[in-house]
Amino acid sequence: MNTVTLTLDEIHTLARAALLKAGSNEEMANCVADTVTRAERDGSHSHGLFRIPGYVASLVSGKVNGNANPKVEHITPVMIRCDADNAYAPLAHARCLDQLAEAAKTYGIAMAQITRSHHFAALWPETETLAEKGLVAFTCVNYMPMVAPYGAKEKVYGTNPISFAWPREGSTPVVFDMATSAMAMGDIQVAARDGKTLPSGVGLNEAGEPTTDPKDIDPNTGGGMILPFGGYKGSHISMMVELLAGPLMGQTVSFETEKTDNNDGGPPAGGQFILAMSPEITSGTADWGTGADSLFDKLKSFDGVRLPGERRHKNRQDTGPRSINAELVKTVSDLG
Ligand code: NDP
Ligand code: PYC
């Protein structure tokens, strides 16, 4: 693979220029470029610059509102609604996460209901931001149908990621962020681009037969589908995400979302569920971290076990330039 090296500032500038040219205002372009840059910084490559063509497509088609003005209101003291006004999700987060954190710190628990937002990124930025404020956090989003429920050969679920973060005194939070499909679609598309094959068990081709060719599953080149992770158990977790991010938020489930999406290649409008909890209030003690730390210490005592989020946090310590696929950099430069 041909690569070029870019500093984090250059990545930000490149992403921002493409978004501005496609019709985003400064505030949203900065929020999305921040998310893209943090993804590249942490080594979350399938959700960094790789996403810019899709972000641009939905601005150009008008599906995403380049001048969106997300509104935040308290429905109850512990429920915060953010109508994103068809913004990209990072702008909605910039508007509502502080208020969510404030409510959770006051009442012990609070929920954000995000509607009409377009999520095309990793989810850890949301949970990690809340954990850095001392809160336990959980979030999930649905998308468009790409995943066959366990036993089926038809796309119903999105890749439906979930992210959870646990705060730690004097250390980075413990964060996991994972698609509930056997693989994220972004990683399947990167594998297709790089001419790689998939492990068995990741997906089915259009005819419903097992395949290891990512092109069979990438919607741009094939009609196949991804399988849920962990068989029927992962399938049920994916169903839970559909319900929490869809109907619980007053939004649609993935296979209904598809009926109204314009298929421009960017993310559809939809919901996001975010929960924040104060461990100090729920546990009733200021010493809430001790029991958790004993678990983390135990896990780290095993050879071959690492905590989720550790890889990203280690990558983050390197503030130098990043190697990025040269063709991708050219594509994004041409958009800016
Ligand atoms: P991965 O399978 O790469 O990682 C899942 C989690 O497991 C991460 O927290 C990771 O931590 C951790 N992990 C990975 N390997 C190990 C290991 N050997 N030991 C311990 N922990 C490990 O993520 P996915 O491919 O499932 O998802 C990739 C991204 O795609 C996510 O950020 C997700 O939010 C995003 N996505 C977004 C969607 C959307 O609709 N917006 C849809 C689907 C996915 P670490 O990061 O430190 O490696
Ligand atoms: O990688 O599956 C994925 C994905 C969907 C939306 C954003 N990322």
Q: Is 279 in the pocket of ligand 1 (CB under 6 A)?
A: no
For residue 92, report the distance from its CA to the centre of ligand 2, in Å. Answer: 18
Q: Is 122 in the pocket of ligand 1 (CB under 6 A)?
A: yes
Q: Is 173 in the pocket of ligand 1 (CB under 6 A)?
A: no
**Distance of alpha carbon 334 from alpha carbon 180, whole angstroms:** 34
Among the listed residues 83, 85, 177, 187, the single catalytic one is 187
Show Cβ contacts of residue 226 under 8 Å, excluding neighbours closer than 6 positions: 146, 147, 148, 159, 181, 182, 183, 185, 188, 202, 203, 217
Interface confidence (ipTM) of the complex: 0.99
46 tagged catalytic? yes
Tokens describing residue 170: 């004097």
| Angle subtended at Cα 238 by Cα 163 and Cα 148, rounded to the nearest 5 degrees | 135
- What phi and psi, each to the nearest 5 degrees, are found at residue 157? -90, 155
For residue 130, report the distance from its CA to the centre of ligand 1, in Å. Answer: 18
Among the listed residues 12, 24, 44, 46, the single catalytic one is 46
Q: Select from 3.40.50.2000, 3.30.10.20, 3.40.50.2300, 3.30.1370.60 the CATH code of 3-181+228-283+313-335.
A: 3.30.1370.60
Conformational region of residue 280, where left means phi above 0, alpha means psi within -120 to 50, and beta covers everything else: alpha
Show Cβ contacts of residue 113 under 8 Å, excluding neighbours closer than 6 positions: 75, 79, 80, 81, 82, 248, 249, 250, 271, 273
Q: Is 184 in the pocket of ligand 2 (CB under 6 A)?
A: yes
For residue 178, the ligand closest to its alpha carbon is 1
The reported pLDDT for the residue numbered 14 is 98
- Ligand 2 pocket check: which of 35, 177, 185 to mutate, most ligand atoms within 8 Å of Cβ? 185
Question: What single DSSP character describes residue 146?
Answer: -
Question: Where along the chain do its domains lie?
Answer: 3-181+228-283+313-335
Q: Is 186 in the pocket of ligand 2 (CB under 6 A)?
A: yes
Q: pTM score, two decimals?
A: 0.97
Q: Is 315 in the pocket of ligand 1 (CB under 6 A)?
A: no
For residue 116, report the distance from its CA to the centre of ligand 2, in Å. Answer: 17
For residue 159, report the distance from its CA to the centre of ligand 2, in Å. Answer: 6
Among the listed residues 24, 42, 45, 47, the single catalytic one is 47
Nearest to 135 by CA among 81, 91, 161, 99: 99
The reported pLDDT for the residue numbered 1 is 80
Q: Is 308 in the pocket of ligand 1 (CB under 6 A)?
A: yes
**Ligand 2 atom closest to Cα of residue 179:** 2
119 tagged catalytic? no
The pLDDT tens digits along the chain (336 residues) read: 899 999 999 999 999 999 999 999 999 999 999 999 999 999 999 999 999 999 999 999 999 999 999 999 999 999 999 999 999 999 999 999 999 999 999 999 999 999 999 999 999 999 999 999 999 999 999 999 999 999 999 999 999 999 999 999 999 999 999 999 999 999 999 999 999 999 999 999 999 999 999 999 999 999 999 999 999 999 999 999 999 999 999 999 999 999 999 999 999 999 999 999 999 999 999 999 999 999 999 999 999 999 999 999 999 999 999 999 999 999 999 999
Q: Is 313 in the pocket of ligand 1 (CB under 6 A)?
A: no
47 tagged catalytic? yes
**Distance of alpha carbon 162 from alpha carbon 152, whole angstroms:** 22
**Distance of alpha carbon 148 from alpha carbon 140, whole angstroms:** 18
**Ligand 1 atom closest to Cα of residue 179:** 26
Q: Please name the residue whose Cα sits nearest to atom 7 of ligand 2.
A: 120
